[in-house]
Chains A and B, each alone.
Chain A
Amino acid sequence: MDDDGEARLVERAQGGDLAAYTELVHRYRERIYKTIYRFTRNHDDTDDLAQETFLRAFKELRRFRRRSGFYTWIYRIALNLSFNLLKKRKKEMAGQQSAVRLPGVEKAMLSGPEAASSAGELRDRLAAAVDSLPRLFRSAFILVVYQGLTHGQAARVLGCSENTVSWRMHKARKILQSELRPFLKEVTDEM
């Protein structure tokens, strides 16, 4: 659908047209679901947050001034809800005095390089390393690498400049490269 078509749908939805809004849900549901899943890593929370994203967007739709694209706006809602959930989880984990890192990350950190004998294992370690990135870097990485957004689009979603997105991507990659270096070397040597 072109931008004009989407703008008309948004306009109709702002007037209370449920069919128009449902069309927008159809358009973005999968991308929003996958984006949220990258943060929550479980389907129950993702399902709740994705529904909450679309319901909240509908309730707030009258306040949407269409200065940015609808997708930018709804991504921001999804990211904010995801960040809130992560903060809540972190508080709960602190309360339980549990390990801060996710189980997958612990595994990646504790195992030696000899354990990573294939690209498949590198992939697992990469997933864990992405999960452990600081959230600002992680959100940029998820939007650009997994969602395929340009730096400009990611900048609008994250509320920062394109230069900042470029910097965050650079730093995210440096962290990943640094954490995965022994395993990367092993795989590149095998190639």
Chain B
Amino acid sequence: MKCEHYQRWVSDDLDGVLTAKKRRRLESHLSACAACWSYRQELALIQAEAGALEAGPVAADYLEEFTAAIEKKLRQEKEVADRGGPVPPRWKWAWVSVPLALALIFGIVFFRSGRDGFRNEIFSFEACLDRVFEEIGGDEKIAADFSRSLSVSLLEGGEAVVLEDDIDLWSEPFFWQSLSDEDLGWIEEEIKKGIRS
């Protein structure tokens, strides 16, 4: 096994999620690998320093003021609701629901009648990636190639703006596993837009 794997176990060990069996293997590796041993020392130092960075308790009087402010706003909300108050925001938009529903129905009909099976398949982006992941079966080289191809096409299409902070992620195998639901949803929407156009 490569040092990278053991270094991930070092991280898991710091978080208390490494099994006893893996820890024994890790210790055995560390006793023979100076680089990984040094890596663990450095991570242990980072962990200790991060613990010292933890902010102290928030002042009690501040917390009381904070809670009082929230209680005041909640009471106002409740009074408005009890009086039957203004129309809740979601009902303000009720007038657009009919055209939206019609557009959705037409969209589905159009999508089903005019498109082939492949285009329906791609409808769930995350499901597609899950299937790719199953096919790859843990082969990091193939996964890296796939990640690279995917990222290049998304970048070329100008669709990776939302993820620019995390650009380093794209060179990682299985990078999509670390994307949030929101990011995956965004990419899926962009791909769907591309298909329609």
Q: Contact at A160–B178, with CB atoms within 8 Å? A: yes
Q: Contact at A169–B15, with CB atoms within 8 Å? A: yes
Chain A residues within an 8 Å CB radius of B39: 177
* Min CB gap B89→A, angstroms: 9
Q: Contact at A159–B166, with CB atoms within 8 Å? A: no
Q: Which of B7, B42, B43, B179 has the most CB of A within 10 A?
A: B42
Chain A residues within an 8 Å CB radius of B112: none
* Min CB gap B191→A, angstroms: 20
The total of interchain contacts (Cβ-Cβ below 8 angstroms) comes to 129
Residue of B nearest to A175 (CB): B168
Does A75 lie at the interface of the complex (its beta carbon under 8 Å from any beta carbon of B)? Answer: no
Q: Contact at A188–B41, with CB atoms within 8 Å? A: yes
Q: Which of A2-10, A47-55, A66-74, A105-113 is the interface stretch? A: A47-55
CA distance A173 to B181 in the complex (A): 23
CA distance A50 to B78 in the complex (A): 19
Number of interface residues, chain A, beta carbon within 8 A = 56
Q: Contact at B11–A169, with CB atoms within 8 Å? A: yes
Q: Which of A18, A161, A173, A181 has the most CB of B within 10 A?
A: A173
Contact check: which of A37, A160, A163 meets B55 at CB < 8 Å?
Answer: A37
Q: Contact at A173–B43, with CB atoms within 8 Å? A: yes
CA distance A162 to B8 in the complex (A): 13
With A55-B73, A166-B8 as known contacts, state yes or no: A126 contacts B49, CB within 8 Å: yes
* Min CB gap B1→A, angstroms: 14
Q: Contact at A180–B11, with CB atoms within 8 Å? A: no
Chain B residues within an 8 Å CB radius of A77: none
Q: Contact at A188–B74, with CB atoms within 8 Å? A: no
Q: Contact at B166–A134, with CB atoms within 8 Å? A: yes
0/1 per residue, B41-65, Cβ < 8 Å to A? 1110111011111110110000100
Chain B residues within an 8 Å CB radius of A166: 8, 11-12, 15, 17
- On A, residues with C-beta under 8 Å from B are 16, 18, 21-22, 25-26, 29-30, 33-34, 37, 47, 50-51, 54-55, 58-59, 90, 119, 122-123, 126-127, 130, 134-136, 144-146, 150-151, 158-164, 166-171, 173-174, 176-177, 180-181, 184-185, 187-188
Q: List 7 A-B contacts (CB under 8 A).
A: A37-B55, A58-B77, A90-B165, A136-B180, A169-B12, A177-B43, A184-B46
- On B, residues with C-beta under 8 Å from A are 7-8, 11-12, 14-17, 39, 41-43, 45-47, 49-55, 57-58, 63, 66-67, 69-71, 73-75, 77-78, 165-166, 168-169, 172, 174, 177-181
